[in-house]
Every structure is written in structure tokens, then in C-alpha cells.
Structure 1
Amino acid sequence: MNRQLLIAKNINKVYSKIITPFATPDFLDKSYYPSLDGWRALAIIIVILGHAKLTFETTSDTYKFADKVIYANLGVRIFFVLSGFLISSLLIKEFIKTGKINIKFFFIKRILRIFPVLYLYLFVIFILNIVLDLNLNYQHLIGPLLYVNNFSFFNGTWLTGHTWSLAVEEQFYLIWPFLFSFTPKKMCIICSVLILFIPLLKIFWYLFPHFQELTLSPFLGNADAIFTGCLFSFLSFKGFFNKKQQIWRNGFLIPFAIVSVECIYFFQSQGLYGKFLLPFGNLIANILIALSLIYSLVICNSLTYKILNLKYVVSLGTVSYGLYIWQQLFIVPIHTYNDKFDMLTAPMNIIIAIGVAYISFHFYEKYFLILKKNYLLKKETV
């Protein structure tokens, strides 16, 4: 009986926190978080290395080693968790300040950040298709252009294949501010339900694959990472995390998270423990990534914090979105497009991709970021 009372007491305690008003925690009481740019840098490095391994022959020792330790999709997962956490944090701060969400303002900011570089990239691909005769057709460009490349409405190709993740994020942006605006007090519950329901859907999709697109698998099957980031943002603003908690102090979290997530991806790639990892593997990875992210914000004297806040790491994170877009043009799997890209091999292809990303950021993307900043300042003075 005492145990049941203790469980009931803890449940009531958690529920009481969930229904309390949002309050900005100390570790999020700032306008810029360099650690998050550090996480972006880590994510894009994983993506680039995961793609770069495909430029080697599958019989080479380099490929065989990289194929067992580097997974590009893990980098995308980090981006997703980070995106959910940051977007929700910004919405919560706006709600605390104004008592509402300006949806028009939200979309203008997202458009100025996301659209310009992608559409420039698609234009470049369009020109290269004509010049190099890459045999691309309109379907290879329309899917990315409309942000539906995660669904099978249009044919895919390597040069635009990475835009599936942008489609997932854009589809998330289309629903999240509206949902938050209508039910801000219930967002913790909504996130929790979504996160717990998706593992059941993954079992359903495995058993009945022909229902995948009908039940939005291309979105929901990947957006679980975004929803996890959202949930941990809401929990942060509900007072669930603070600097005094033992989980941040024992120094065990980051090594445990690295080893666990790496093992999950390795086992999944080898088809091992599928009955457990199919529904729960990504869920565990998402939670560990989210906890690690919060750790890097809460504990500012840790080695993790110092690495993520290194000048060059933050700088790389700043251009990570553009780098994610452009790297697909320079890091092309071997024997693709009639070997026309095979002369671009590691590490030169990586160096070129990073160089193009910096040029894109400083001479193109910055213009739209300035427009975004000026619009933000204009709205704040109205």
C-alpha cells in the first residue's frame, strides 16, 4: 500500500508540474546558445562522413570500417531532435512574452531561413543537368521544390535525395505553430502521446507495408525525433530540469549516450534485435540525444560544453544548413550518373563542400538572414 501511495504521489507531482504555467529556466534564459551550433556541427560531420564512405568501393577496407561505425541518418536524427527543441523553445518564449503565437511571423522567419539556399541549389542542379546531361527529369526537382520528397509522389535521385529530411521538417512547421497556438497547455501530453504511439505504428507499418504512405509513415516515422525534442523543450519550461540534478553531475550521461546510440545504429544496420529495436530503438536514441543536448546547456564547465563551444565548431554549425544542402552535390556515391562525379573523392570533396557552404552563407544566405533579423526588430517595435 505504501508503494502504491508513493507511486500515486509521484504521478501527482509530475502532473502538477505539467499543468503549471511556462517559466523560462536559467539555462535557456538567453537569446543565443552556442552549444546548439556545436550540435549542428556534430550532426553535419556525421552526415558528411556517412555520405563520404559511399565514394569508396564497397570492397575497400575504408568502406567496410566506415560502414560499421558511421551512419548518416544519425546526423539527421540529431538535427531533428535539435530542431524540435529549438523551435518549441522559441514558441514558448513568444507565448510567455505575448500570450499568443504570431503564426504569420513564424512562417516568414522559416521561409527566409530555409527556402533561399534550397531553391538556389535546385537551380544549380537544373543547370548542371543540362550541361552534364545527368538524365534528371522534372520529378527529381518538383518533389524537393514542394517539400514532399519524403513521400513517393515523385521519383528520387541522389542529388536531391537528401531533401527528404527538409520535407519532414517543413511538414512539421506546417502543423506545429497551429497546434501550439490552439492548445499550449496540453502540448506536453500531445508530445507524449505522439512519441509513445509512433512505436506502435512502426510495428503496424512493418506488418502492413502497403499502408505506410496512407498512414503518413514518411512523416511520422521520422518526426518522432522532432517530437522528442519538442517534449524536452516543454519539460524544460515546466521546471523538470535544473543544474542540481544528479544526472548532470556524475559525468556518465554523455559516454553512456554515445555508446548506446552507436550500438543501436550498429544493431539496426546488422538486422539484430529487430523485435525490440524496430519499435523502441529510435525512441531510446531520441531520448538520449535530447538529454545530451540539455546537458550541454545546463553544465557549462564540462568537456562536452567546451568542445561544442570551440570557435571553429560553432562556425561550422553556423553554416551547417547550407552545408547539408550543398554537400550532396560534391559527395556523390561512386559509379553514379555514369561516373561523372567520381573524380570528387575524399577528402577533397569534403573540403570543397565546406568551402562552398561558407561562400553560400556569407555571400547569399546572410542577405536573407538580415531580412529576417530586420523583420524581427520591426515586429518587436510595433
Structure 2
Amino acid sequence: MKAIKVLKNNLSTDITTIPEIVKDNHFPSLDGLRAVAIMLVILYHFGANHFLRPFHILINGDTGVNLFFVISGFLITTLLLKGKMAHGQISLKRFYLRRALRVIPAAYLFLLVMILLNAIYKFGITGRSFAAAFLFYKNFPYQEEPFLGHFWTLAAEAQFYLFFPLLLSLNTKWYTVVLSVIVIAVPFISILGFYHVHFLFGNAFIKQATQIIMYSFWKGPFIILIGSLAAVLLFKGIIDIKNNKYSYLLSFLLLATALMISSKSFVFYTPYVCELGSAVLFVWVILLNLDKPNFLSTILQSRVMTKIGVLSYSLYLWQQPFIGNHVWQPWLSAFAGCSQATLLAVKLLMVFALALASYYLVERMFLKLKLKYE
């Protein structure tokens, strides 16, 4: 009871200081973690499991997306709280301008290119599908499709931007309480739904609500909230990672464990449970790599990893047209007879070339403009 009382008091306390580990303006380790995330997504989508299956190892692309989400929730909430500490309040206007300048230009460039290709090659992408991508509601409902399906993640991010920073700006205490309730309730409902517990499906309204939680809310917004809640708990002093004598190897082991349990080749893999576990482990990986240099942070802060991390958004946008072999991809027709290894290498070269062009010709220009609203 005493522990619960202490936790309750800590949850309700005001934030008065910025934690030492997040005082910097840039975190190279997070760029490196973004590189891990995007390579998980790309390698999964480009068929790397074909080469890994003999070793009983399978990459899960959703794990990479979830790592992106945890980083995003943690970093955005951290920046908002630092802004509140510096200026006495959160400027939602500046926040939304920064997010728009970060997300929209590169995303809309991709969509405009796809409109042109759709007109030329008759892919059959509908106007409704383009509208859902342009307006960031591709995850309601969640839609799998060859060329625009990945916009569900951008939709999830946009919906987080729209609602939760507003709540955070109004009341930090209630933000913490609301997120804590969500982080407890959503996995509980999702796991019960996965096992088809009767009371969740006996009523049409409850069934619909359960399916929205399991498929639309879980895939994106919920995982982002785990990262966001971690940031708030860090600022409130509830999470404390100081003086961890095992930290040099711990973050590497935690990352390896998170990747292992979220792989569908894991012998005890259970949907929702393993995804939740890996997301929580990702939080600790982030915190440990912000705290002090360690084995993993040395890798994450290497030049190659940070460069890939900086390109990760553009890479994510442009990898989608190269997914799989079951969809007609005219840009790969010249390589139709090649081995899977050659095709994988060609896809990687093409997507990196497109990402570099997108970043240096479009994205970087708007990122410089974004700095005016920091």
C-alpha cells in the first residue's frame, strides 16, 4: 500500500526539472535506433527472410515500425516538455508547424509521384485510397495494399499529434493518468479479444469497439503512447536509470531480446503480449543509450548508422513500391530473371537512391525551415 501511495504521489507531482539525459538537443543514438528500425522494415519487405529461414531466424517488419513508434512518442513528448519548461507553456502552433514541415513535404512528393505512375501504368489505386493517404486516415480501417499501404503508420502518427499534445498542454497530471489507463486497458482488451472471450463479441457495439482497439488503435497510436508515457515518467522522476553498473552490455541484450520475442519464429511468440513486451524493452534501450556510452551506443552512433537513421523517413516512404514479387513493378522488369540475392541488392540500391534524392532535394529544405519554429 505504501508503494502505491508513493507512486500516486509521484504521478501527481509537477515537473520542475529537465532530466540530465535529455538536456541535449540532438541524440545520435536515436538516429542509430531509427537505422535499426528502418532496416528491419526494409529487409522484411524485400524478402530477407528467404535467406534467414534456414537458420530459424525470421525478421518481423512490424517490430521495426513499433521501434519507430516508441522513439517518436518518447522524443516528441520530451521535446514538448522541454519546451514547456523553457517557456512556461507548450506552443501547439509551433508544434504543429514543425510536424507539418517534417512530415508533409516528403509524403506528398511520394504521393504525387504515385499519382503519375498510377496514371501511366494503371495500377488501379483508387481516388479514395489516395484521399486516405493525403488526409492521414489510412489506418481507419487498417488497409493492406501494395503501394500506399504504409501510410497507415503516418496516419497513426498524425492522430497522435492531433490529440495527445493538446491534452499534455492542458494538464500534465491528467495526461499521465489517461496514458497509464490506456497502457493498462488496451493490452488487456486486445489479449482477451485475441482469445475471443465471449463478452467482447456478444454485443455488436462492444464487438466493433474491441476490433477498433485491436486493429486500428493497437497498430500505431497505442505503441506511440508507450514511448510518450515513458518520457513523462522520466520527467517526473518515476523512471530512474542512474548508477546502473550493468548498463554497458545491458542495452544491447535488451534490444536483442526485444527483437527475438517479437519475431514470429520465437518459440513462445504470442500476439499482443510479445509486441507489448518488446515495446517496453525498446523504452529501456532508448533510456540506457541516452544515459552514458555503452557497447550498443558505440554502434548506434557510428557514421553509417546515424546516416541511415537520418534518411529513415525517406527510406520508409520509398521502400513501399519495391515490396514483394506478386505485384507488377515495371521498374524491376529488367531484373525479372535474376536471383533473389541480386534482386534484393537492386532494390536496396534503388530505394537508397530515391531516399537520398528525396532527402536532399525536398526534405532538407523544409527541415531548415522547421528550425525557425524550434
Question: Are the counterparts in 2 of residues 202 and 279 from structure 1 also a CA contact under 8 Å?
Answer: yes
In structure 2, the residue matched to 1:4 is: none
Q: Distance in 1 between the 2:102 and 2:278 partners?
A: 28
Q: Distance in 1 between the 2:67 and 2:245 partners?
A: 21
- The gaps in structure 2 that reach 5 residues or longer are 336-342
Q: Residues 295-325 of structure 1, C-alpha deviation per residue, up to 9 Å, x if partnerless?
A: 111122x111111111121111111111100
2:35 pairs with 1:19: no
- What pairs up with 1:25-44 in 2 under 5 angstroms? 25-44=19-38
2:347 to 346, 349, 372: 349
Q: Give how far 1:239 is off.
A: 2.1
Stretch of structure 1 that moved more, 364-373 or 77-86: 364-373
Question: Are the counterparts in 2 of residues 129 and 136 from structure 1 also a CA contact under 8 Å?
Answer: yes
Q: Distance in 2 between the 1:213 and 1:199 partners?
A: 11
In structure 2, the residue matched to 1:319 is: 311
Equivalent pairs, count: 356
Q: Residues 21-68 of structure 1, C-alpha deviation per residue, up to 9 Å, x if partnerless?
A: 3221111111111111111111001110010117x9xxxx53745994
Matched to 1:53, the amino acid is G
Query: Judging changes above 3 Å, is the alpha-carbon distance between structure 1 residues 369 and 77 closer, same or farther for their aligned structure 2 residues?
Result: same
Q: Distance in 1 between the 2:2 and 2:328 partners?
A: 62
1:188 to 165, 168, 176: 176
Stretch of structure 1 that moved more, 187-196 or 16-25: 16-25
**Secondary structure of the corresponding residue to residue 51 of structure 2:** helix
Matched to 2:84, the amino acid is F
Identity between Structure 1 and Structure 2 (%): 27
In structure 2, the residue matched to 1:10 is: 3
2:331 pairs with 1:333: no
Question: Are the counterparts in 2 of residues 191 and 231 from structure 1 also a CA contact under 8 Å?
Answer: yes
Query: Judging changes above 3 Å, is the alpha-carbon distance between structure 1 residues 169 and 248 closer, same or farther for their aligned structure 2 residues?
Result: farther
Stretch of structure 1 that moved more, 257-266 or 361-370: 257-266
In structure 2, the residue matched to 1:164 is: 152
Query: Judging changes above 3 Å, is the alpha-carbon distance between structure 1 residues 66 and 75 closer, same or farther for their aligned structure 2 residues?
Result: farther
Stretch of structure 1 that moved more, 253-262 or 183-192: 253-262
Q: Give how far 1:167 is off.
A: 0.8
1:295 to 288, 295, 300: 288
Q: Residues 258-312 of structure 1, C-alpha deviation per residue, up to 9 Å, x if partnerless?
A: 13541333257xxx757xx345222211110110111111122x11111111112
**What TM-score results when the alignment is normalised by the length of structure 1?**
0.85
Query: Judging changes above 3 Å, is the alpha-carbon distance between structure 1 residues 238 and 112 closer, same or farther for their aligned structure 2 residues?
Result: same
Q: Give how far 1:86 is off.
A: 0.4
2:273 to 254, 269, 280: 280
Q: Give how far 1:367 is off.
A: 1.3
In structure 2, the residue matched to 1:211 is: 208
Stretch of structure 1 that moved more, 61-70 or 32-41: 61-70
Q: Distance in 1 between the 2:153 and 2:56 partners?
A: 21
Q: Give how far 1:19 is off.
A: 2.8
In structure 2, the residue matched to 1:142 is: 131
Query: Judging changes above 3 Å, is the alpha-carbon distance between structure 1 residues 372 and 62 closer, same or farther for their aligned structure 2 residues?
Result: same
Large movers: runs of 4+ above 6 Å: none
Q: Distance in 1 between the 2:178 and 2:6 partners?
A: 19
Q: Distance in 2 between the 1:248 and 1:87 partners?
A: 28
Query: Judging changes above 3 Å, is the alpha-carbon distance between structure 1 residues 137 and 243 closer, same or farther for their aligned structure 2 residues?
Result: closer
Matched to 1:45, the amino acid is M
Q: Give how far 1:204 is off.
A: 5.0
Q: Superposition RMSD on alpha carbons, in Å?
A: 2.6
Matched to 1:62, the amino acid is F
Query: Judging changes above 3 Å, is the alpha-carbon distance between structure 1 residues 123 and 273 closer, same or farther for their aligned structure 2 residues?
Result: same
Question: Are the counterparts in 1 of residues 247 and 288 from structure 2 also a CA contact under 8 Å?
Answer: no
Q: Give how far 1:187 is off.
A: 2.5
Question: Are the counterparts in 1 of residues 183 and 226 from structure 2 also a CA contact under 8 Å?
Answer: yes
Q: Residues 73-122 of structure 1, C-alpha deviation per residue, up to 9 Å, x if partnerless?
A: 11000000000000100111111122221111111111111011111101
**What TM-score results when the alignment is normalised by the length of structure 2?**
0.87
Matched to 1:157, the amino acid is E
